[in-house]
Structure 1
Amino acid sequence: MTTTADELAQKCAQFMFANDVATQNMGMELIHVAQGQAIVSMRITPNMLNGHQTCHGGNLFTLADSAFAFACNSQNEAAVAANCTIDFIRPALEDDVLQASASVCHQGKRTGIYQVHITNQVDALVAIFKGNSARINRKLLPSE
């Protein structure tokens, strides 16, 4: 039986998530994965707040980076971040449920460009993340 591109993307994401202790420890959930796309959600907890009682920017970056990782590794070509930037639009508060939606803008043989939009539970834009990926010349899944 032939595996479709989206089925392969889901296998890759499941493999990565099972080995991603940081993403798991932050309470992130993998909502959706397809080729070149991923949606990850996270609830803002008290231990994620900064001195202004808003979500620390590093936690927002990590959420976006996780969605980016699932999207850019979705073709079973192991990839890492080469460069990432984030623009913070509005604060996220305790108990907000954020969703990071990653999608491919361009994927070449070695490098890719991905964008991630982080929104809150009322679909207000919280941040925009751009990630450049670099494939590292190996398969992600050990058995593929």
Structure 2
Amino acid sequence: MRDSIVEKVTADPYAKFLGIEIEKVEEGYAEVSMTIKENMLNFHGAANGGVIFSLADVAFAIASNSYGTTAVGINVSINFMKAGMAGDHLKATATEVSKNPKLGLYRLIVTNEAGDIIAAADGMVYRKKEQFG
């Protein structure tokens, strides 16, 4: 299953556009990373919140689909704690908190290379009956 997810995310046009790389995949867990580029900054000169969310969302998608059953996000609540800046290498982790046949809850954390928390989020998925892939 890991190879199928890695293949899908590697081919994902948006993740590819952002330069997101997959670092680690386990059942119910994922780590991804990317470097903030100048074209990802907002008018304050910091990383756009949508870019940070997108990184967390890719980790969330990988972790929640890691069992082979299609999982789709139904809610995410994100808190931005610190600005990401151009050149920062950010890492997002998604860790499963709770899983049942229909729903899954995941904790998403985005950090910079110094280990500072840039954003923290909770995401919930609905698990469909179909297999992923």
State TM-score, norm by structure 1.
0.89
Shift of 1:17: 1.0
Runs of 4+ deviating beyond 2 Å: none
* Higher radius of gyration, 1 or 2: 1
Secondary structure of residue in 2 paired with 1:31: strand
For structure 2, the residue ranges without an aligned partner over 5 or more in a row are none
Residue in 1 aligned with 2:30? 38
Q: Tell me the residue number matched to 1:64.
A: 56
Q: Are 1:53 and 2:48 counterparts?
A: no
Q: C-alpha distance in 1, partners of 2:86/2:10?
A: 26
Deviation at 1:85, TM superposition (A): 0.9
Report the residue type matching 1:125 in the other structure: I
Q: Which residue of 2 aligns with 1:27?
A: 19
Q: Which residue is 1:80 aligned to?
A: 72
| Total equivalences in the alignment | 133
Stretches of structure 1 lacking an aligned partner (at least 5 in a row): 1-7
Q: Percent of pairs identical after alignment?
A: 32
Q: For the residues of structure 2 that align with 1:48 and 1:111, how far apart are their CA atoms?
A: 32
Q: What is the RMSD computed on CA atoms of the aligned residues?
A: 0.9
Deviation at 1:135, TM superposition (A): 1.2
Q: Look up the equivalent residue of 1:13 and give its one-letter code.
A: I
1:94-133 map, 5 Å: 94-133=86-125
